[in-house]
Amino acid sequence: MPGSLSPGSLSVVPLRIVLAEDAALLREGLRAILERAGHEVVAAVEDAEALLAYAGHTSLDVVITDIRMPPTHTDEGLRAAAELRRRHPDLAVLVLSAYVADAYVAELLDSTPGGGIGYLLKDRVGHVREFLDSLARVAAGETVIDPQVVRRLLGRRHDDGPLASLTEREREVLALMAEGRTNGSIAVALFVSEAAVRKHVGSIFAKLPLDPMSDRRVSAVLAYLRDG
């Protein structure tokens, strides 16, 4: 993981974490980064079976998992994450992978609202601080999705889905929301005022069939990511 972290450079809320990564050097490197940041790594495992065993019987805040792990190196980690969310809806899950995988993503997103969900691509995490910030946001209940994952899911979009009523600009705003951007950041990206972004966000909320029991921004982002 590129970047460096000096002790005490970040003020963090200590988290209890199970880490699943089959590459030994990366697994131990991530463990060192997390522990140096003040978190407790309850277990660092190399396969999905061990992930399910530890995460299913331990009080945790977050699971961090790769997608491709033994024995088939296909989507064991993602399937395990979806199963953990089914069993423990309040458990935050951060998927950290080198790949964009469609399988089980919808199931993970469709899990009962509760803990946060993140999907980051390993080679696009430029700094340790960026990784730890994403982890904190997921632990706090937010959805953090890498833009490349968003674009991949966007490519599967159905023209007659729930987003069909949105204008092109509203879709652009929603896509940036799905990346975890604030209204201010969206305004900068689209070269519009923050007031204009708030207007588009309000229109998106009015048009989409959102879950009245959850945060409207999160619900809108999940509707966007599921529409495939």
Supply the CATH number for residue 216's domain.
1.10.10.10
**Is the previous residue joined to 70 through a cis bond, with omega within 30 degrees of 0?**
no
What pLDDT does 188 receive?
A: 92
**Listed residues 92, 111, 146: the one ending a domain:** 146
Rounded to the nearest integer, the mean pLDDT of the chain is 81
For residues 70 and 131, membership in a common domain is answered with yes
Residues 166 and 90 in one domain: no
Is 113 contained in some domain?
yes
Residue 9 falls within a domain, yes or no? no
The pLDDT tens digits of the residues spanning 152-196 come to 666 555 555 677 788 888 888 888 887 778 899 899 989 999 999
- Structural domain includes residue 40: yes
Number of domains the chain is built from: 2
Would residue 79 count as lying in a domain? yes
| Rg, the chain, Cα only | 18
Number of residues that this document lists for the chain: 228
- Exposed, middle or buried by CB within 10 Å (0-12, 13-18, 19+), for 156? exposed
CA angle, 191 then 196 then 201, to 5° = 110
Are both 194 and 117 inside the same structural domain?
Answer: no
Based on the fold, state whether residues 140 and 211 are members of the same structural domain: no
Q: What is the pLDDT of residue 6?
A: 40
74-119 pLDDT, tens digit each: 888 888 888 888 888 889 999 998 877 766 666 676 654 567 888 8
- CB half-sphere exposure, 53, CA atoms < 13 A: 8
| Residue 103 belongs to domain spanning | 16-146
The whole-model pTM stands at 0.69
Q: Residue 94's Cα: distance from chain center in Å?
A: 5
Check whether residue 71 and residue 27 sit in a common domain: yes
CA–CA separation, 111 and 151 (whole Å): 21
Higher pLDDT, 103 or 16: 16
CA atoms within 13 A on the CB side of 124: 14
Inside any domain, residue 44: yes
Predicted pLDDT at 50 = 92
Max CA pair span of the chain: 51
Question: How many C-beta neighbours within 10 Å does residue 108 have?
Answer: 20
Asked if 170 and 137 sit in the same domain, the reply is no
In a domain, 151, yes or no: no
Query: How is residue 123 annotated by DSSP?
Result: G
Does 118 share its domain with 198? no
Distance CA 120, CA 101 (A): 11
Query: 111, 146, 181 — which closes off a domain?
Result: 146
1 lies in some domain: no
Residues 66 and 134 in one domain: yes
Q: Are residues 90 and 115 in the same domain?
A: yes
pLDDT tens-digit readout, 29-76: 999 999 999 999 999 999 999 999 888 777 899 999 998 888 888 888
My answer on whether 136 and 200 are in the same domain is no
Distance from CA of residue 65 to its chain's centroid?
A: 11
- Domain membership flag for residue 3: no
Q: What is the pLDDT of residues 114-160, one digit of tens each?
A: 678 888 888 888 789 989 999 999 999 888 888 777 766 665 555 55
pLDDT above 80 for 27: yes
Residue 107 belongs to a domain with what CATH number? Answer: 3.40.50.2300
